[in-house]
Structure 1
Amino acid sequence: MKYQELFDGDEILKSEAFKELEKPLIDLIARTSMWVDPGKVTNAPVYPDVKRGYPKQKGQVIDGIRIDDNTYANRAIKNAISKDAGFVNYVTCHIWPGTTYDERYHTRLANLVLIPQVVAALSDHCPSVIDVLKYRAFELYGWYPEEESEPERPDYYPEEWGEMVSESVPLSDMECNLDEYFTEDDHNLELEEYNNNREEIEIEKVRRKVFGWRYKPGQICSTILDEYMTLSQNGKCPVERDRLKSICEMQGVEKFEGNYNQMKNFGLRNHAKVFQENNGYVSLWLPVSTFIKGLYK
């Protein structure tokens, strides 16, 4: 649909009126936000196999990862702050943009903060607020995502922050068995959802996984795709399958057949479908070829 005129509410962030309110709002967030006591924060997510995904995928297990909305992140931080307290009109916010879609960071306590609902949206849309929260998380926990640079102290940084809730909660009490919350019907729905929307699901899986392969060399999938992209001149021409196998084995790839098949075929538990094969020649799967070529360009 094309619009004759488009109105963007985020334009308010550029207005002079907002600039006058910006520092007082940052101070308000600092005084009212709720953080986990550093003594309770570990170097791992509370729920290691959970991340955010498409709303219609909620509750599914895709490639071993449970798809959440914000339920598990919300449970993780509130239990860590106080298992006995009630939280009304507080929103669980992620410090670093985009990390909720990564199972390493979705329920990591150092990446979470509770902010009053009335101002919580600023943590997603206001760069100065985001920068302040990043530095506060680093100040408290010494943490930032491994793909990012150490945050710098913003030019404007609040001196006054709210006090933390004083309560001792054993870390073991914050753990739970995910299967406790899901029935066999939920798992059957996962397979049905995949079969009904497998191309869409595979495209999303490729976009999520290949980025990691590209920037974390040494994995089997990464090596196979890297060698293919080299042999194919960045996906310009098909590559003989046996030649790809030979080169990958020279690079130390064991069990090429099984891993390659999981990169070629559809499957609920496959690595991610990046290849298609015709008469013994391998090429990129068309729905994701442009995306992959862009990463390797």
Structure 2
Amino acid sequence: MKKKALKGFQVPDGNEILRTDIPAVAELIARTARWVHPETFRGLPVWAPHAARGMPLFDASWSRRYTNTKRATGIRSDKFEGNVAAAFALFAALDVASPRPKNWAVCHIWGYDDPAFAQHSGVVQDRRYFSCVANMVWLPTSLKGFTDTLPEIKAMLRVCAFHLYGWACEHESVTAQAAEVRSGRIPPNYPAEWPDGKNPGRLPPGTAPFTERTQLAIAKRRAKIKSDLENATYIHYPKSEVEKVLEFWNVDLG
């Protein structure tokens, strides 16, 4: 007589468990997300054109590469850009008041499309999109996992950004997804408060105001980029790459 095979604890795909709760998740995100004002995006689309995920980090003079040294072993290793430059770009574009609130996370709208994070994201490794303020939204940290892993939520954010800023990512790795967004299709459970084809000028709840302070921040950042380019005698400053990013976004520094 054959013994019946013992089965382990059967657990379904985590995204499948949550799929019926997507309307509730979308409502939470719509109520809590913080967006850059479209006029701020038009004033300066990309705030750190020198930076991208995984790029080497240097000091302010671009002459010395930053490193980490492990205390236990004394082994030194190079430091690379994580999300710091993108985060500071978003904070500046939102004009977040000090002290900065806790438990908020920067989410790239066009970033990872692999729920397992096994593949590198070409989008955030591209200087054109890493610090693009139309490619980021600020969310309570506890909600970030939904935007990183649920395709339905990603689609909603991308559609919102398209109608809010008039932009969908041009990177070759997301050509099909961007074409879907540009087609005008509205995903199921898309928040009614967000902009769409009939209401392209509607500002989502949580959109930062476009104020005199914001305009000053744009002017200050533009001046810093211009100064870096004009005085780019730094050893490692990526002048030609920065110029290409600015040309892509049609940014005229004057």
- 1:37 and 2:37 are equivalent in the alignment: yes
Aligned-pair identity in percent equals 25
Aligned equivalents of 1:30, 1:80: Cα separation in 2: 19
Output the amino acid matched with 1:48.
P
2:86 aligned counterpart, secondary structure: helix
Output the amino acid matched with 1:136.
C
Deviation at 1:179, TM superposition (A): 10
* Residue 89 of structure 1: aligned partner: 103
Aligned equivalents of 2:167, 2:12: Cα separation in 1: 29
* Residue 220 of structure 2: aligned partner: 173
Write the deviation string for residues 178-235 of structure 1: whole angstroms up to 9, x where unpaired.
999xxxxxx79x9xxxxxxxxxxxxxxxxxxxxxxxxxxxxxxxxxxxxxxxxxxxxx
* Residue 134 of structure 2: aligned partner: 110
Distance change in 2, residues 1:28/1:178 (3 Å):
farther
Q: Report matched runs for 1:270-281 at 5 Å.
A: none
Output the amino acid matched with 1:92.
V
Instruction: State the superposition RMSD in angstroms.
Output: 3.2
Deviation at 1:164, TM superposition (A): 1.9
* Residue 82 of structure 2: aligned partner: 69
- 1:131 and 2:155 are equivalent in the alignment: yes
Aligned equivalents of 2:85, 2:154: Cα separation in 1: 22
* Residue 252 of structure 2: aligned partner: none
Q: Report matched runs for 1:20-31 at 5 Å.
A: 20-31=20-31
- 1:49 and 2:71 are equivalent in the alignment: no
Output the amino acid matched with 2:108.
H
| Structure 1: gaps spanning 5 or more residues | 1-6, 181-186, 191-297
Deviation at 1:11, TM superposition (A): 2.2
1:115 aligned counterpart, secondary structure: strand
Aligned equivalents of 1:10, 1:122: Cα separation in 2: 17
Q: How many residues align?
A: 169
Distance change in 2, residues 1:132/1:144 (3 Å):
same
- Greater share of helix: 1
Aligned equivalents of 2:15, 2:83: Cα separation in 1: 26
* Residue 198 of structure 1: aligned partner: none
Distance change in 2, residues 1:178/1:126 (3 Å):
farther
| Structure 2: gaps spanning 5 or more residues | 1-8, 63-78, 112-120, 194-203, 229-234, 238-254
Aligned equivalents of 2:147, 2:82: Cα separation in 1: 17
* Residue 13 of structure 2: aligned partner: 11
Distance change in 2, residues 1:58/1:178 (3 Å):
farther
1:84 aligned counterpart, secondary structure: coil
Write the deviation string for residues 18-71 of structure 1: whole angstroms up to 9, x where unpaired.
1232110111011100000001103642111210017xx44488xxxx952111
Residues 76, 174 of structure 1: 8 Å contact kept: no
Residues 33, 206 of structure 2: 8 Å contact kept: no
Residues 13, 126 of structure 1: 8 Å contact kept: yes
Structure ranking higher on relative contact order (CA contacts 8 Å, 6+ apart):
2
Deviation at 1:84, TM superposition (A): 3.0
- 1:78 and 2:79 are equivalent in the alignment: no
TM value normalised by structure 1 = 0.50
Aligned equivalents of 2:152, 2:142: Cα separation in 1: 17
Distance change in 2, residues 1:174/1:33 (3 Å):
farther
Output the amino acid matched with 2:97.
D
Aligned equivalents of 1:39, 1:135: Cα separation in 2: 18
Output the amino acid matched with 1:21.
D
1:50 aligned counterpart, secondary structure: coil
Aligned equivalents of 1:115, 1:165: Cα separation in 2: 13
Distance change in 2, residues 1:45/1:88 (3 Å):
same
Output the amino acid matched with 2:209.
S
Aligned equivalents of 1:124, 1:172: Cα separation in 2: 32
Distance change in 2, residues 1:141/1:167 (3 Å):
closer
Deviation at 1:129, TM superposition (A): 0.7
Distance change in 2, residues 1:21/1:39 (3 Å):
same
Residues 91, 116 of structure 1: 8 Å contact kept: yes
Output the amino acid matched with 1:164.
T
Distance change in 2, residues 1:179/1:117 (3 Å):
farther
* Residue 71 of structure 2: aligned partner: none
